[in-house]
Structure 1
C-alpha cells in the first residue's frame, strides 16, 4: 500500500520537525565552547592592595536560608571584605539571624527596613539603601538563598579583572531537593537562558545584556554612573536592567557558568516555583505578551508534536491500520522521543547538574511551564504582581506608582 499525497506531506513536515533536534545537539556543543566557565581550577585574585568589596544581602523572611548564606560569605578567603545584611520588613527571625552574625563577626552590619516607598520593588529598595551604606570599591549583591565556596569571591574578582568587566555575574548551580524543584527548575532556567544566551550577552559588540542578581559583582563607579538601583527601581529583574545600563555606557558586562563555586536553591514548593518564575519571566521579557506567547507555541510545535505523533501512531496500529503511514509515523515519533530526551538530558544537566534524570518528566514540566507563562501573560495584561506578601501595581493595571524616598534603621 502506497502513501497518499497528504500522508507524504504530513510525514515530510514531521520529519523536518524531528530533524531540528540533532541540530540542537550541535548548537549545545558549540555554545558550551563559547561560554565562560569558572571552577576551582580558575585563577584567584590574591596579594596586597586588593580593592575593598562590600557584600550586600537583602533578606525578607529568610530565616531558614540566611544562616548558610552568611556562613559562606563570612568564610571567603578574599581579605578585603565587609558584609551588609538588609532585613527588609521580615515577619520571621531574619533580623535575629543577621544580628547574631554581626555579634560574631565585626565585618557584618545589619540594616533594618521598616517600609517600602511607592514606586520601588522590595529588593531594589533594599539594595539601594544598602549601597548608600557600603564601604567597598566593589559591590557584591547576593541573594539570601545562595551559598559560595570560600574562594568564590577571589575567583570572580580575578575573572572581572581578566575580562576588564565593570559588572561580573555568575550562573550558579541550582540546588533542587524536592520532586517539583527537580522537574520544573531546570526547564524554567532553560526558558530564561534561551532569551538571554550568555555567550551573546558577553560579547561587547552586541547590545544584548544579561546579569544574574543572585550573584552580581559591580564596580562602584559603574554602579553610580548608571544611577544605581534607583534607575531600575520598579523592576523585578533589576539585574538585567542594571546590565543593560552598564553595557549602554560601553563597559564590559560578563557572566560565567560556575556550579562548582556557587549554588542557589530558589523555590522549594510547586506554588513558589510558579509564583517566582512567572514574576521573573514577566519582567525579563519586558512585560510584553508576544515573547511569552512565543515561549508557549515553540514547544508545542517542536516538542509536544512528538507525543501527539506517538499516540496517533499507536492508535492507528491498534485500530488495525497497519499500512506504511502508521509505521513511518511510529518510527519518526520514536526517533523524535529519543532525540528530544537526549537534548533535554543535556540541558537539565547544564542548568541543575543533579537533575538530569528528571528530564524524563518533561511532559509534566511542560504543563507547569505553560502555567507559569500564562500567569506571566496575565501580569502583562493587568500590570499587577504579588510577591513575598507585597502587591505591586494599581487595580486598573496602570503599573507601579511614582517613586518616593524611604527610611531605614541601622545596627551593627
Structure 2
C-alpha cells in the first residue's frame, strides 16, 4: 500500500504540475493584442440555432454590438420548433443587415449542427469565418482583436478558451473538473508548435476562409459529434497554423444552467469523447478511480506513511483546482464537492455511453443518429 500510494502521488503531482505550468503558457488575447483590426478584413459570423429561444436574443444582440466595421452575421435556424423563428424575425426588423437561413429538413449523412454550419458558409463572404454558438456573448472589441492577432501572427485558425458561467457550486465544480481534464488531454499550450496537438472550441473557432475551404469545409466532417474539435483536427492535418488563447473578459457562455441540464447535455458528446469505445472508457475509468477517487478513500483506509502520501495527493489536486479558480475568478465554495466530482463525472460518462449503445445511436434535438454512422468520425 505504501508503494502504491507513492506511485499515485508522483503521477498526480507530475500531471498537476504539467497542467499548471502549461495553463500559464497560454496567453490572453486582450493582453497580447489590445488593438483591433482596421476593418478592411471582412469577418462572417455563423451561428447555428436549433431551439435556442432561451439564449439566442442576448447572444445575438452582443454579436450585433461588436465594434468591427465589416462584420457579416448569419444565423441558421435549424428546424426549430420553439420561439427561435420569432426572435430572429424580431432581430431582423431591428437589424436589417442580419442574414437568416431557414432549414426545414436535414439531409441524410449529416449531423444537424454540422449541416447548419455548412449551409451558413454558403452565404458567407468574409475573409475570416467565425463559428460560434447561440448561447455565446461577446465583448465589443473581441472579434477585432482576434482578427488583428491572426493577421499579426499569420494564424489560420484561432480558438479562444472562453469564460464559463456556473450558477451553483456543484455545477462550478463539474465545470472546473472538466476544464482540468480538458487541459490535461488536449494540452492547448502545445497546439501552436506541435503537429500532434490540435484544438477547436464551439464557442469561438475563427478560421481563415482560404484555409477552411482548402481543408474541405464541414463537408469533410458531416457526422462529427465533436464538430469543433474535429474542425481543429481537420485544419491542423492540412498543415495550417493554429493557435489557442484565453478569451477572458471577451467571450462568455453559460454552458449549462444546472447540473441535471449538464448531465442531459453531455448525453450527445460523452461517448464520442472516447471514440465510441467501451475499452477506452473502461481504461479512463480505471485511471480516474486510481488517481482521483482512491486518494480520498485512502484517507479513511490507510495509516502511517501511506496516509500522508494520500493526503499530499489530495492536496496536489486541490492546489490545481485553486490555481484555476484564482485565474477564472470563481467561488472557492465549489471545492466542497471536490471529493465526489470524479464519481459524478464517471456517472455522466457511463450513463451517456450505455444509453448510446442501448439505442444504437444518439437522439439529439429530436433527431436520431445511428451509431454506425457516428463512428466514422473519430478523434
Q: Do both proteins adopt the same fold according to a TM-score greater than 0.5, normalized to the shorter chain?
A: yes
Q: CA deviation at 1:377?
A: 3.6
Q: Which residue of 2 aligns with 1:13?
A: 4
1:263-306 Cα deviation digits (max 9, x unpaired): 11112233331233343343344333333333322221122222
Question: Normalising by structure 1, what TM-score?
Answer: 0.84
Structure 1: any 5+ residue segments left out of the alignment?
1-9, 314-325, 403-412
Residue 373 of structure 2 aligns to a residue whose secondary structure is coil
**CA 1:379–1:288: 2 relative to 1, 3 Å:** farther
Q: For 1:2-401, list aligned pairs within 5 A.
A: 10-39=1-30, 42-47=33-38, 50-203=40-193, 205-313=194-302, 326-348=303-325, 353-378=329-354, 381=357, 383-393=360-370, 397-399=371-373
CA RMSD of aligned residues (A): 2.4
Q: Is the Cα–Cα contact under 8 Å of residues 54 and 82 in structure 1 kept in the other structure?
A: yes
Q: Is the Cα–Cα contact under 8 Å of residues 195 and 236 in structure 2 kept in the other structure?
A: no
**CA 1:388–1:356: 2 relative to 1, 3 Å:** farther
1:61-108 Cα deviation digits (max 9, x unpaired): 111111111111011111100111111111111111112111111221
**CA 1:102–1:127: 2 relative to 1, 3 Å:** same
* 20-29 or 143-152: bigger deviation: 20-29
**CA 1:349–1:376: 2 relative to 1, 3 Å:** farther
Question: Normalising by structure 2, what TM-score?
Answer: 0.91
1:351-393 Cα deviation digits (max 9, x unpaired): x541443133123321220022213543675651122222211
**CA 1:282–1:401: 2 relative to 1, 3 Å:** closer
**CA 1:40–1:69: 2 relative to 1, 3 Å:** farther
Q: Is the Cα–Cα contact under 8 Å of residues 82 and 108 in structure 1 kept in the other structure?
A: yes
Q: CA deviation at 1:336?
A: 3.1
1:298-322 Cα deviation digits (max 9, x unpaired): 2211222222211124xxxxxxxxx
CA distance in structure 1 between the partners assigned to 2:335 and 2:162 by the alignment: 19
Q: How many residues align?
A: 375
Q: Choose 1 or 2 for highest CA Rg.
A: 1
Residue 225 of structure 2 aligns to a residue whose secondary structure is coil
Residue 160 of structure 2 aligns to a residue whose secondary structure is strand
Q: Is the Cα–Cα contact under 8 Å of residues 276 and 375 in structure 2 kept in the other structure?
A: no
CA distance in structure 2 between the partners assigned to 1:348 and 1:290 by the alignment: 33
CA distance in structure 1 between the partners assigned to 2:158 and 2:32 by the alignment: 18
Q: CA deviation at 1:41?
A: 6.5
CA distance in structure 2 between the partners assigned to 1:354 and 1:287 by the alignment: 33
